[in-house]
Amino acid sequence: MQKKHVVVLTGAGISAESGLKTFRDSGGLWENYDVMEVASIEGWQKNPELVLKFYNERRKQAYHAQPNAGHLALKELEKYYKVSIITQNVDNLHEKAGSTNVIHLHGELSKVRSEKYEDLIYEWGDKEIHLGDKCERGAQLRPHIVWFGEVVPMMEHAINVTLSADYFLVIGTSLNVYPAAGLINYLPATADIYVIDPHAHELPIRSNKKVKLISEKATIGVPKVVALLIEEATKQEH
């Protein structure tokens, strides 16, 4: 029997219990930086050293972070469903947990790219980049991150994936940032939606029968929902 399709939209909240701060819980400041100074194209043009310092720190921190029970439960789901993870996170905790189909809407901390030739992308681990570090064609290296004010190249692909969802899990995102937050509008009417977030009831999602709000942390809520979905899949097999 063909596996049903679970599409998962994750945000900073799923990585919170792995020690990576969420954006909103830090009161709009990341490690005491103003987001528009370090995560926008204007910020890069105005003060590239500050931006490089900010991402060098976050790249090191994410490199040493470990996936938590939320990430690991999503990996487990792959045994029973086709699972597509669409993440706003720039850490690689879904990959570290073993998920095999991860779409990064906002880029990846572990990668850097040429400022001029954007298809020149390099795996950078936890190393730093500084002004004067060049790509193989002599242009400045920059974080492989989608900054505020830049287009989201993977959005069309994410929409196509969402169109075929049987289930849609929203985990650890305040749904404040577009176009990512708009994905929910592309869901088939038949899709069941699960929202896992301690503040699930405050999120901008009209709750109806198809939406189940689980006001739990990811390490509690995600394994719960995954167990439910696995039970459903195994029931259908018999």
89, 10 Cβ separation under 8 angstroms = yes
Question: Per CB under 6 A, which region of 13-21, 54-62, 119-127, 150-158 contacts ligand APR?
Answer: 13-21
Strands of 167-171's sheet in order across? 102-104, 82-87, 5-10, 167-171, 192-196, 211-214
193-228 burial, b for 16+ CB within 10 Å, e for fewer?
bbbbbbebeebebeeeeebebbebbbbebbbebbee
The CB-of-85 to ligand APR minimum distance in angstroms stands at 13
Which CB sits closer to ligand APR, 26 or 164? 26
33, 190 Cβ separation under 8 angstroms = no
Question: Per CB under 6 A, which region of 122-130, 134-142, 151-159, 191-199 contacts ligand APR?
Answer: 191-199
Which CB sits closer to ligand APR, 162 or 174? 174
Query: Between residue 137 and residue 176, which ones bind ligand APR under the rule CB under 6 A?
Result: 172-174, 176
Task: Return phi, psi of residue 138, to 5°.
Answer: 85, 10
Position 106 contacts ligand APR (CB under 6 A): yes
Query: Between residue 82 and residue 101, which ones bind ligand APR under the rule CB under 6 A?
Result: 88
| Chosen residue from 7, 13, 93, 144 binding ligand APR by CB under 6 A | 13
Catalytic, 106? Answer yes
Position 12 contacts ligand APR (CB under 6 A): yes
Total residue count of the chain as it appears in this document? 238
**Catalytic hit among 71, 94, 104, 106:** 106
Angstrom distance (rounded) from CA 214 to CA 8: 15
| Chosen residue from 4, 17, 48, 128 binding ligand APR by CB under 6 A | 17
Site size toward ligand APR, by CB under 6 A: 22
- Which residue type sits at 196? I
Position 43 contacts ligand APR (CB under 6 A): no
The CB-of-72 to ligand APR minimum distance in angstroms stands at 14
Radius of gyration of the chain measured on its C-alpha atoms: 18
Residue with token string 């991860």: 102
Instruction: Tell me which residues touch ligand APR (CB under 6 A).
Output: 11-14, 16-17, 22-25, 88, 106, 172-174, 176-177, 197-199, 217-218
